Structure 1
Amino acid sequence: MAERDSFDEFVRGCSYRLFQVGCLLSGGDTHRAEDLVAEALARVYLAWPRVRSGDTDAFGYARRTLVNLHTDWWRRLRRRELLTDRLPERQDRTDASADIAQRDTVMRSLRRLTHRERAVVVFRYFLDLTEQETAAELGISVGTVKSTNARALAKLRASPDLKQPNHTVVLRPEVAIPVSTRSRDV
């Protein structure tokens, strides 16, 4: 029973953070993010005795599982057409607060990035991982992380939604991405 208690504690401590990563990776699709987190945690639960007893970082393992699940889903999605039985919701921005409007702007801009570019930006700036850690998580080289990050930031800087002088996108209070064309130090 102690093993289940430790897993329950792990889930309470990391599920919201995994949900945030899932939202960012899925372009703001909260339903998809919830599905990703549920599936990732189910897989971590099956491997919990091995994860808990080894040198494995449990959150890193769960995060990597989530990214792999999203990548698998994205690859399957590219191979077929996605049909829905309802129209997309229209957002009424007249009553939206500045935070909701900014989050919407960020999500629209992130959706314009490729899957890999979005993953690199999320890992580098939201999860605050180093280039080496990002490369290891995504299974790509450090050079690919650097070039993909540069392309992604260039796209974000050129994004019509973010085209304001000295505009800064805040993913979380301690992480800001300058997207002004004047700023070249990012």
Structure 2
Amino acid sequence: MIGERQTGILAVQPGFQPATNEAGAHSGPVWSLAALLLAALALRLAFFTGCFGSDEVTYTEQALKIAQGHWARSDYIGAVRLGISLPVGFLVWLFGRSEFVANLWSLLCSLGEIALVYLIARRFWGERVAVLAGLVLAFTPLHAHYAGRLMADAPLAFFVTLSFFTLFEGDRTGRR
């Protein structure tokens, strides 16, 4: 391949094809991903940490104000984290006030990141590696812990992973 012009991030070898499982079936991955997310959800619900205080109080206060239609101004940086306050405010408006609802955004981001890691790994290395990669992330204690707290960690990790997923998909499909 010396001297050949290769374009794109994934152009490692000519004729690169995404990895597939041995049977090439597509129904198995759906069940694998569903089972993986169900196991991750069960773990996160079993070890739900809830509110510890700190920044969570500020995020919750801002989200409650947004849910009530008040757009409060603040000089404190934690009070203007709209990537947390807006989704949490919407969830509180939709489902009502509770500690679980306030932490639901982090839980959804955590599960979303597990799904994205599974999809990325399946695209490159196949079903077996995708399940293992998803299991590693699903059962990482810190990942499960932050899924139950209203902090910026889970949404940030989700959107970073989503950025890589969209980069790889855009490169694969030629839509950049």
Q: TM-score range by the shorter chain?
A: under 0.3
TM-score, normalised by the number of residues in structure 1? 0.26
Question: 1 or 2, which has the higher strand percentage?
Answer: 1
Q: Which has the larger radius of gyration?
A: 2
Q: Which has the higher contact order (CA 8 A, sep 6+)?
A: 2
